[in-house]
Amino acid sequence: MANFEQRQARYIGLLSLGILILLMISLWQLGLSPVWLVVSCLLFAVVLLLGYRRQKIQLIQVFSRANWQLEAIFAEDFNQQIKAQYESGEVALFEQQLIALSEHLHHHKSRYNSQIFVIYQLIDKLDMPVMVFDQAHSLSYSNNAFEHLYRQPWQTMKGVSLDTLQLTCKNDLWQFTNRNLARHWQLHSSEFKEREGQYVLLIASNIRQRLRESELQAWQQLIRVISHEINNSLTPVSSLAQSLSGKMTVHRDTQALHVIKQRCEHLQSFVGRYAKASEHLEVSPSVIALQPVFDHVVQLFPEQRFKLDCRASRCMADQQLLQQVLINVCKNAIESQQQPDIYILLSSAYSQEKVVISVCDNGAGFANLDNVFTPFYTTKHTGQGIGLTLSRNIIEQLNGELLLENTAQGAQVTIILPTLVDNNSH
């Protein structure tokens, strides 16, 4: 089938030929000589040809400008805009509708971009990691909470594969291949399209925090019951032993009652100390300088080698409670040393809107990470198994997080604290 230009040329040609024939017949009837008849027909044919050529150029210009505008729309380049050349008629209406279409799409795209911008801004503020993967399952985008998983900004890992992120996807089921991440994080996924591309939105929720809250409530209830029952039993026993010791005349009996009283007091003290490990503390967070805190901890252990790296100078915490936590952690590291020449690295660094404090040693590491927070569990002969539990309770009530892990060098305790006050925390 011939194109539009060819059909138009054929139609104009036939029409012009008919007009020329009618003109020749009319001029022949008027009695013009053959020469003037030919000249007149040629002149008329030239006028028709020039008029047709001009109309064709104008028509092509209309379609060319419309095609140029459509190409700009497809390319989403709304800075390019044609101007209407006609004020009335079908061509003018066509131009006006084309301009209106471009303006409508421009407004729609601006609103869409605004909505996307707001959504990404909200995602950036979320405290749970959100990752976006493209069709090749490469990391396309993530928020600042990405560091909760991988301890580095997501920009440094943009475009990496699932293997690098220790992730797997089988039958639309996303999972961590890393055992530690899989134990503490749950993944939720959904697919969406953006600019003809297929993407996967992956959200990681911290199940460890929810489990920790349930665990804490259970232990608090258990401790209240145990403390109540033990104190009700030990108080009269201790009082009775004290009363009888004054009436005994045999030294051995007096000494035995004294031992009973001491053991009652020791058990009451132990129960009281453990009850404090899970109770809500009165914390007074403020912006504190970390270097003096580090210096104070180091001064308490003059015989221990320390390495200090205080790159984050300030954080939001209760200074006395944070000092107590660092003292507990360093004391554990010193007491668990099985060989000489062990050093402790005490460091701090900024990570987005958080401060990360690390206590590392080059010792043997934690003997059993699964039980370090289990009440009364300890690998030390003189330990009571409440130091790390109390430390975790303190850090959590400072809106922070305490993590334990074994590295290639030894044990590492990581404390994550905010840099600013969280007004919604208390």
- Decide: 238 and 265 in contact? Cβ < 8 Å: yes
∠365-361-128 over CA atoms, to 5°? Answer: 80
Sheet arrangement for strand 305-310: 305-310, 343-351, 354-361, 411-418, 401-406
Q: What pLDDT is recorded for position 33? A: 72
Q: What pLDDT is recorded for position 209? A: 66
Rounded-to-integer distance, Cα 366 and Cα 368, Å: 6
Q: What pLDDT is recorded for position 405? A: 84
3-state secondary structure of 385: coil
Instruction: Look up residue 149 and give its two tokens.
Output: 């998983």
For 418, the enclosing helix (H) or strand (E) is: strand 411-418
Give 334-369 pLDDT, tens digit per residue: 877 666 667 889 999 988 778 999 998 877 677 666
Nearest 10 degrees: Cα torsion 93, 95, 101, 102: -160
Instruction: Look up residue 217 and give its two tokens.
Output: 């409530």
Confidence of residue 131 (pLDDT cuts 50, 70, 90): very high
* For range 143-150, the mean pLDDT: 86
Closest listed residue to residue 418, CA positions, set 358, 359, 351: 351
Rounded-to-integer distance, Cα 410 and Cα 333, Å: 10
Q: What pLDDT is recorded for position 291? A: 93
Rounded-to-integer distance, Cα 228 and Cα 299, Å: 39
Rounded-to-integer distance, Cα 6 and Cα 131, Å: 56
Give 254-276 pLDDT, tens digit per residue: 777 777 877 777 677 766 655 66
- Report phi then psi at 317, rounded to 5: -165, 170
Alpha carbon 2 to its chain centroid, in Å, reads 59
∠105-110-113 over CA atoms, to 5°? Answer: 120
pTM above 0.75, yes or no: no
Give 197-242 pLDDT, tens digit per residue: 788 889 998 877 666 666 666 666 766 777 767 777 777 777 777 7
For 412, the enclosing helix (H) or strand (E) is: strand 411-418
- Decide: 395 and 316 in contact? Cβ < 8 Å: no
Inform me whether the pLDDT recorded for 105 exceeds 70. Answer: yes
- Decide: 281 and 393 in contact? Cβ < 8 Å: yes
Percent helix / strand / coil, the chain, rounded to 5 = 55, 20, 25
Q: What pLDDT is recorded for position 165? A: 92
Q: Extract the runs of DSSP E, i.e. beta strands, from 53-184.
A: 130-133, 139-142, 167-170, 173-176
3-state secondary structure of 296: helix
Give 34-84 pLDDT, tens digit per residue: 777 777 777 877 777 777 778 777 777 777 888 887 878 777 777 777 777
126-207 classified as CATH 3.30.450.20: yes
- Decide: 378 and 367 in contact? Cβ < 8 Å: no
Spell out the domain ranges in the chain: 4-106, 126-207, 209-278, 286-418
Closest listed residue to residue 299, CA positions, set 308, 289, 288, 287: 308
Inform me whether the pLDDT recorded for 133 exceeds 60. Answer: yes
Cα–Cα separations (whole angstroms), residue 87 to 95, 356, 393 = 10, 68, 77
* Superfamily designation of domain 286-418: Histidine kinase-like ATPase, C-terminal domain (3.30.565.10)
Q: What pLDDT is recorded for position 356? A: 92
